Structure 1
Amino acid sequence: MSTPQQSELRVAVVGAGRMGSDHVDRLAHHTLRSRVSAVVDVDRERAAAVAATAGDAAGEPQVFSSVDELLTAEAADAVVLATPGFLHEEALLKLLDAGIPALCEKPLTPDPDSALRVVEAEVAAGRQLIQVGFMRRFDAGYRRLKDAIASGELGELLMLHHQHRNPEAPAEFTDEMIIHDSVVHEFDAVRYFTGEEITDVSVRIGRTTSRTGNVRDPQLVTVQTESGLLATVEIFVNAQIGYQVHTQATFENGLVKIGEGSEVEVTTAGRTGVTVDAGFVTRFRDAYDLEVQQWVDATLRGEIAGPSAWDGYATAACCAAGVAAQQSRTVERVALAPKPSFYAAATGSPALA
């Protein structure tokens, strides 16, 4: 386990798939004061292949096929958890029991009941050890909008409008996954921007694209916060145009738009246009880099630097309400357990430096 006196953090990456391998590369080659000490995956050969990309003068990371093996070997001070969400609860409970800090990719867990169990276990442990990977909070545009809201320079924030578009969804993508895999980010964004909990969710489905399988697409999600602020989300996972995440904030005295910073406008041969990102990894690359760097630095100080386990639980509760709203076509209330005083801040946020 890390101590404030450490100058380098030994990090194990659990899960050697797309996100896990991306984090291994980031930690090994772009993050200061960290070293990839282990890679864990049920597919040991895949873990070994990913570990080989992170070798340095000290050698290659150790390879394990389970969290239990990792903990027995005492091979890490902290963990980046990048396995599928249904595996998170078991791993997080073991890490909490061992006192190991974790950066857990979203979701904390796939449902509010299991997420609440993780929250209760962390409260019982007596220290915040879990940070949830809502990387958008570390995006430069998100941070500027958060600052504009906090400053009050444009008056009171009245409404938020989000557009979330993917080029295409896998054939197995479902209506429920639209909420759990995509709109979950907007649920967290609304909570981040407002500092409030979401109280209700509704989903409307109208005309649908011909390029769809098991999912009705696009969908319009509306949420309301404790103070009455409304936010909309246009979620379109088969948009064909690339990956876009835009937000417009309506204030009493103006508008703020974010999400176009990574697009480059080119004029040539009598035409002007922009290149749209191919996916979330390129769109939010800088945000991921900052998220992991600040998590490493905070962990060395014995802290977390972003969304907490409570934030993970609250978004899981929003997702449950969202899926219910898809089915009922009515407004669904978000059911939240009482918030433990252990979580002092309403929504964990990165530093705005």
Structure 2
Amino acid sequence: MENRDVLGVAVIGTGKMGADHVRRIQQVTSGARVVAVVDVDRERAELVAGRVDGCTAYTDPVAAMASTDVDAVLIASPGAAHEAALLAAFSRDLPVLCEKPLTPDAASALRVLEAERRLGRRRVQVGFMRRYDAEYLKLKSLLDTGQLGRPLMLHNRHRNLASPPWWTSAMHINDSVVHEMDVTRWLLGQEITAVTVLFPRPSGNAPEGLQDPQFVVMETDGGALVDVEINVNCGFGYQVQAEVVCERGTARIGDGQDMVVSTAGRWGGTIAQDFIERFEDAYDREVQAWVDATRRGEVTGPSVWDGYAVAAVCEAGVRAQREGRRVEAELVEKPALYD
């Protein structure tokens, strides 16, 4: 897809995330337009397509990818549908931005990795949007200079306003801490080797039967320790914070103090209420980076290897929850394609 003036994108999945990406590509992103949307719910697909001139609604991803207008694919469907969509895109050599998870488990992620490896070149950017967040980028830049010395510990806090009715204890790992797993690997440049999950007393805000909050401890192959407080029923908003402790100093992000207002004997600011509000700019940068790279005939950003590695660590985390013990993460040898 080199040197395309305007990239024709098919968006697969028109739920909250997919619909937001359709809006983003049409209103924020330069160099791309949405030419197709796909959803098993035809009515919803047609509703979203109807908001975009020249956009066609489909219920079958393969049919959408067969359109001559489609140059690239953005996958925002539920994780269980990702593998089939990715393999279909590979068969047509279409570049893909795939929202996390790459796939729901390590075995299917490994199948995708092997399929891309057989192509002999990368076609997928995985949607770990925190890598495009301004604060995380500053933290990564600082760590890469080495001026603080080696990272020894990474503390994370991940809090949601309230969990939806269908939320499960395992989703703390697979749908929330998955982000800390990726940024740990990215910030520190190290693989996660083991996971332990501890449970404090459940919050009174949590639905009955849900283990919330949870405290996750991860070990890396570079000797760092990483902890995550995951609290999906904090009751006050959406909050993501990180602090790296290094040999010669520390660095912290996520305090949310871009503007502090003092008035009527009080001072304070606001707290985002969900992940789309908090990471809106990161999503904008992520999609723009994907479009720009695709138009150049390149693939950048988080890779299928990153998606597979995080899936393997998630599996270790869920086992650690279930078995109440430290569980080692098992990864295959990294293929040269991803070096």
Range into which the TM-score falls when normalised by the shorter chain: over 0.9
CA distance in 1, matches of 2:324, 2:259: 39
Of 160, 184, 188, which aligns to 2:182? 188
CA shift in 2, pair 1:20/1:301, >3 Å: same
2:21 counterpart SS class: helix
**Alignment match, 1:295:** 290
**Alignment match, 1:6:** 4
Kept in 2: contact 1:263–1:276 (CA 8 A)? no
Aligned AA for 1:74?
Answer: T
**Alignment match, 1:349:** none
CA distance in 2, matches of 1:294, 1:71: 22
CA distance in 1, matches of 2:276, 2:311: 23
Query: For structure 1, which runs of at least 5 residues remain unmatched after alignment?
Result: 345-353
Aligned AA for 2:139?
Answer: L
**Alignment match, 2:234:** 239
Q: Shift of the alpha carbon at 1:5? A: 2.4
Q: Shift of the alpha carbon at 1:170? A: 1.1
1:275 counterpart SS class: coil
Q: Percent sequence identity over matched residues?
A: 49
**Alignment match, 2:337:** 342
**Alignment match, 2:139:** 145
Per-residue CA distance 1:111-147 (angstroms, 9 max, x = gap): 0000000000000111100111000000011111111
Of 28, 31, 34, which aligns to 1:33? 31
**Alignment match, 1:223:** 218
The 5-angstrom pairing of residues 236-275 of structure 1 reads 236-261=231-256, 264-275=259-270
**Alignment match, 2:95:** 101
**Is 1:325 matched up with 2:320?**
yes
Aligned AA for 2:8?
Answer: R
**Alignment match, 2:71:** 77
CA distance in 1, matches of 2:312, 2:3: 38
Q: TM-score, normalised by structure 2?
A: 0.97
**Is 1:156 matched up with 2:150?**
yes
CA distance in 1, matches of 2:300, 2:260: 34
Kept in 1: contact 2:261–2:267 (CA 8 A)? yes
Query: For structure 2, which runs of at least 5 residues remain unmatched after alignment?
Result: none
Of 48, 53, 64, which aligns to 2:58? 64
Matched positions, count: 338
Kept in 2: contact 1:118–1:309 (CA 8 A)? yes
Aligned AA for 2:43?
Answer: E
Q: Shift of the alpha carbon at 1:173? A: 0.9
Q: Shift of the alpha carbon at 1:262? A: 6.6
CA distance in 1, matches of 2:13, 2:135: 29
The 5-angstrom pairing of residues 50-61 of structure 1 reads 50-55=48-53, 60-61=54-55
**Alignment match, 1:43:** 41
Q: TM-score, normalised by structure 1?
A: 0.94
Aligned AA for 2:236?
Answer: I
Kept in 2: contact 1:200–1:321 (CA 8 A)? yes
2:203 counterpart SS class: coil
Per-residue CA distance 1:151-200 (angstroms, 9 max, x = gap): 01122211100000000001221111110000000000100101111000
Q: Shift of the alpha carbon at 1:7? A: 1.8
CA distance in 2, matches of 1:42, 1:91: 13
**Alignment match, 2:169:** 175
Of 236, 249, 271, which aligns to 1:276? 271
CA distance in 2, matches of 1:284, 1:263: 14
CA distance in 1, matches of 2:62, 2:305: 25
**Is 1:310 matched up with 2:305?**
yes
CA distance in 1, matches of 2:261, 2:61: 48
CA distance in 2, matches of 1:144, 1:78: 30
Kept in 2: contact 1:159–1:251 (CA 8 A)? yes
User: RMSD of aligned C-alpha atoms?
Assistant: 1.1
Q: Shift of the alpha carbon at 1:264? A: 3.4
